[in-house]
Amino acid sequence: MENRIYIVGMGPGREEMMTREALAALEQSDVIVGYTVYLDLLSGRFKGKELLSTPMRQEEKRCRMCFEEAKKGKKTALVCSGDAGIYGMASLMYEIGKEYPQTELVVIPGITAASSGAALLGAPLNHDFCVISLSDLLTPWERIARRLKAAAEGDFAIVLYNPSSRKRKGYLARACDILLSALEPGRPCGIVENIGREGTKTGICTLQELRDREVNMFTTVFIGNSTTEAIGGKLITKRGYPAEQA
């Protein structure tokens, strides 16, 4: 391989929440490519680097930019929030990479919102869980609805990514209506906003209340399974240890 691109998951935002491997990859790079919001979070520390971005929704262009920079002989990193392989750019990079066989891709994992958000809420994912994105930009809504239903029927704890955006208002309510057809309205749920960034907020409510909550694109939503309990303001999904059953 003649050159290499690091595909770096930077975690939810704060530098402390980035792995040392991720930081080292960015430090070694000449060029850092990413969506502007993430580059802004990094710009303080990586002032000396060339920071390149494309607007949101121009993901393919952003990927191609990486391959072109690498081809010029520059050490290149592509940053994504959380983990680059979870609703991130890693798979598109591999697809486009077919056209650039001389470039090696190295994925560096990051803390995904399910994990960082769960930590703020306590332990809502301490058993089997499903992660479902409510964005129907790339996935038909019917498939999302089918997955929501299946997750509820399977008694999974559920994490919802992309619960809303300016263009997709009302999606969380639609998702809750599907879940409410299988789950009780009092099912404990949690909401986390701006994890690892300024203005972090957490909240616990019931599934019925969740239905009418305002959320934005920097929110991750948690729905408990049948064992989940709100304990002292935290959302706890039990593993089934004997002490927990007492």
Label residue 93 exposed, middle or buried (CB < 10 Å: 0-12, 13-18, 19+): buried
Question: How many residues sit close enough to ligand SAH to count as binding (CB under 6 A)?
Answer: 23
Taking CB under 6 A as the rule, does residue 13 contact ligand SAH?
A: yes
Taking CB under 6 A as the rule, does residue 172 contact ligand SAH?
A: no
Nearer to ligand SAH by Cβ, of 80 and 175: the residue is 80
Taking CB under 6 A as the rule, does residue 217 contact ligand SAH?
A: yes
Nearer to ligand SAH by Cβ, of 220 and 237: the residue is 220
State the minimum distance, in angstroms, from the CB of residue 241 to ligand SAH.
29
List all residues 6 or more positions away from 115 whose beta carbon is below 8 Å from its beta carbon.
Answer: 125
Instruction: Find the part of the chain contacting ligand SAH (CB under 6 A) among 31-39, 98-106, 141-149, 195-203.
Output: 195-203
List all residues 6 or more positions away from 119 whose beta carbon is below 8 Å from its beta carbon.
Answer: none
Taking CB under 6 A as the rule, does residue 12 contact ligand SAH?
A: yes
CB atoms within 10 A of CB 235: 28
User: Binder to ligand SAH among 87, 100, 156, 222 (CB under 6 A)?
Assistant: 87
Q: CA 111, CA 76: separation in Å to the nearest integer? A: 21
Which one-letter DSSP state was computed for residue 11? B
Instruction: Find the part of the chain contacting ligand SAH (CB under 6 A) among 23-31, 99-107, 119-127, 191-199.
Output: 191-199
Taking CB under 6 A as the rule, does residue 197 contact ligand SAH?
A: yes
Tokens of 53: 């971005």
**Per-residue interface string for the shown chain with ligand SAH, residues 150-169, x marking contact by CB under 6 A:** -----------xx-------
Q: What SS3 string covers 92-148?
A: HHHHHHCCCCCEEEEEECCCCHHHHHHHHHEECCCCCEEEEECCCCCCCHHHHHHHH
Instruction: Find the part of the chain contacting ligand SAH (CB under 6 A) among 50-58, 76-84, 173-181, 235-243.
Output: 76-84
Contacts with ligand SAH by CB under 6 A lie at: 12-13, 80-83, 86-88, 112-113, 161-162, 192-197, 217-220
